[in-house]
């Protein structure tokens, strides 16, 4: 197969006619490909916080968000 990036419009037309027989058949084929229904995938569901893979604070420690800031020395 020839490289379509370097071919002219006449060469492209010749390839379309050789493969499909006419421009009308080629365009009908394009419409058939575009008109097929789209497969819809289900939306991703975000897991709720606190799942089994959530990192938990070790027992007996103070969470970092409630600890007092360090006191300035001096």
**pTM score, whole prediction:** 0.39
Closest CA to 20 of 12, 11, 29, 33: 29
Q: What is the mean pLDDT of the chain?
A: 76
Question: Residue 15: which residues within 8 A CB-CB, separation 6 or more?
Answer: 2, 4, 7
Look at residue 13 in the predicted model and tell me its pLDDT: 92
**Is the pLDDT score of 73 beyond 80?**
no
**pLDDT tens digits for 10-43?**
899 999 999 999 999 999 999 888 877 777 888 8
């Amino acid at each position: 197969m020839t490289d379509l990036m370097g071919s002219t419009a006449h060469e492209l037309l010749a390839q379309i006619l050789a493969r499909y027989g006419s421009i009308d058949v080629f365009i009908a084929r394009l419409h058939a490909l575009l008109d097929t229904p789209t497969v819809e995938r289900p939306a991703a569901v975000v897991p709720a916080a606190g799942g089994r893979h959530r990192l938990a604070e070790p027992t007996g420690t103070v969470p970092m968000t409630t600890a007092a800031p360090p006191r300035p020395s001096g």
